A and B are shown apart, each in its own frame.
Chain A
C-alpha cells in the first residue's frame, strides 16, 4: 500500500489521507458528491481502531466531531454545500472554543439544494468564517488526488498546531475523478497531542472546560483578541502554486479544479506565443495576498477565473489594490465549463479585449 501507486477517486484520496494522518473519529451524513468518504470510513476506520458513526444529520455529525475532538482525538466530517451550511453553528462554536478538527467540503452547485454537479460557489462561506461571529477557518484547496491526500494530512497538523477547525475544499470534479495516488507511511500516533487542553486528564478544581460562552466582563474580548492573533500568525501558512508567471504579462488566478483546467489552457496559449501564467491559491484562507501583490508590483495584469459568479476575485482585487486590478470570467454554476471557454477568455484578456 505505502509507496505504490494506486488508482482512486479524490474522495477516496481524502479518506486515505485522513486515515494515514491518524484519524480516530469520523462522523458524517450521506450527500452527493462525496459519499465515497463515509463509505470508505465505515469499513476502514473501525479496522484502524477509530470510531465511525453515520449521524442523523450534518448538524449532529459536526457535534459528534466536537465531542471526539474535545477528547484530543483527530476527528473529521465531510459533506457538500447544503450539509456544510447545516454545520455552521458548531463550526463557529469550535472556532470560539478552539477545538481542532477537519471538515471536507466537496462543493456542488447552489444556491439551495442546487444540483449535484461541480461548482465553486462556497468560496465565500469557506473563507469568511461561514457562521456567526468574528472567526475564520484555515481553508486548503487541493486540485489533484495526490494533493487531496497530502493536504488532508496537512489539514490535521494545521488544526492541532493552531487549535482550530480547518476546511479542505474540493468540488465534484475532484471528488469523483480517478487518478494515480501514492500513499505515504501513516503518521505514528502522538499520545501527547492535545494534552495541554484535551478533556480526560484532570478533574476537581483544575478541571478543563472547552467552551465558547463567555459572560464575564472582558472575557469574550480576550478570546476574540486571541483568535485575531492566531489568524495573524496563520498568514505564515499561505501557499500558492505559480506556473509560468515569471515572464507572464497576464496572470490568471484560479483555484482547485478550475485552476487545473486553466493550467492546461495556459500551456496551449504559451504554445501559441501568449505570455500568460497561472497563480493558484492553495490556502484560500489565509489568502496568499503578498505573493499576488508582489506580482502586481512587477506590473502584471490579472484575470480571475472561477466556477461561480465572482467570489475569490474580491480577494484578488484586495490583494493588488492600488497597483493593479483583475478582470473576471465566471462559469455559471449549473453547467460544466469547458477548457475552450477558459482559453478563449484568457486569450481575450491577454490581448486587452473586453471579456
Chain B
C-alpha cells in the first residue's frame, strides 16, 4: 500500500494528539488560523490570548506565545497586550459561553473601541467542557443538561447572533459568520479568517469571525449527523455571510 501526502501540517500546528472528541471541529478552526499566519510569515510575530472552555489548551496545539485569560476576559487581555505591543499580531480564540455569556461586556467594549485585534469565535451552541449546558447561542427548543425540555424563548431567551451584533459596532472593521461542516464552507471560512486578520494588519479596526462548529458529544450525535445539524438547524438560525467589511480606517 502506498501513502500519498495530501497536504502538509502547517508548522504552527503542534504535532501532537489533541484532547478533542471525535468529530469536534476545533482542530479545523485551529488549522485555519495557523495556516493563514504561517502563509504570511506572521507566526513569529503573533501573540494569542486563550480562553476558558474546550479550547483552553489551545497553547498545546498552536505554537504561538500565549497568555491565558480568565473566563470571558480575553478581549480585555488582548487590549492590554496590543496597546503595549502594537507591532504584534494579537488574536483571541473564544467559545460561545466565554465570549457571548460571561465575556459579553469585554467583547462589546473591545469591539466598540476598535481594538486592532482579531477575534476567532467558535459557536457550537453548547458549553462543551463542562458537559453540555445551555449556552447563550443554544437554539430555541434545543435540549441541553440545563434546559432538559429544550430552550424556552420566553424564559431562557433566544440565541445571540454575535456576527450581526458585532457588525453594528463602530470599531469593528470586519464581521462574518462561516461554518466548518463542509469543504465548501471551510473554504469560505479560510477566506473569512484571512479578512479578520487583515482588518487588524491594515489598522482598520477589529476583525471578527464566527465559526459554526460541531459538538457531537454534547449534541449526542455522530459526527456525520452533527455536520448535518449545522446545515439543517444552525445555518437557518445563524445565517452565513459577511455582515461588515469596512475598508477605511476609523483612527483618530
Chain A interface (Cβ < 8 Å from any Cβ of B)? 24-25, 27, 50-51, 53, 55-57, 59-61, 63-71, 73, 75, 89-90, 93, 97, 99, 199-205, 207-213, 215
Contact = CB atoms under 8 A, between A and B. Distances in A.
Interface in B47-73: 47, 49-50, 56-57, 59, 63-70, 73
Contact of B65 (A27, A73, A99, A201): A201
Contacts of A204: 11-12, 43-44, 63
A25 B84 contact: yes
A202 B76 contact: no
Contacts of B105: 56-57, 59-60
Nearest to B42: A203
Nearest to B37: A203
Contact of B83 (A53, A60, A212): A53
Contact of B80 (A27, A203, A212): A27
A66 B65 contact: no
B46 interface: yes
A63 B73 contact: yes
Identify whether the interface residues of A are mostly helix, strand, loop, or mixed: mixed
Interface of B: 11-12, 14, 43-44, 46-47, 49-50, 56-57, 59, 63-70, 73, 76-85, 88, 105-106, 108-109, 113
A25 B83 CA distance: 8
B106 A202 contact: no
Given A89-B70, A203-B43, A204-B11, A68 B65 contact: no
B59 A211 contact: yes
Contacts of A24: 84
A69 B88 CA distance: 15
B77 A63 contact: yes
A18 to B, nearest CB: 15
Given A57-B105, A204-B11, A209-B68, A67 B88 contact: no
A73 B67 CA distance: 14
A210 B65 CA distance: 8
Contacts of A199: 47, 65-67, 81
A56 to B, nearest CB: 4
A86 B50 CA distance: 21
19 contacts: A25-B84, A59-B105, A59-B106, A63-B106, A66-B77, A67-B76, A67-B77, A67-B81, A67-B83, A70-B80, A71-B47, A97-B67, A199-B66, A200-B88, A203-B12, A203-B46, A203-B65, A204-B44, A213-B68
B80 A209 contact: no
Contacts of A61: 76
Given A57-B105, A207-B64, A63 B70 contact: yes
Contacts of A202: 65
B60 to A, nearest CB: 9
A204 B64 CA distance: 6
Contacts of A209: 59, 65-68
Nearest to A51: B83
Nearest to B90: A67
A302 to B, nearest CB: 40
A273 B144 CA distance: 76
A204 B73 CA distance: 25
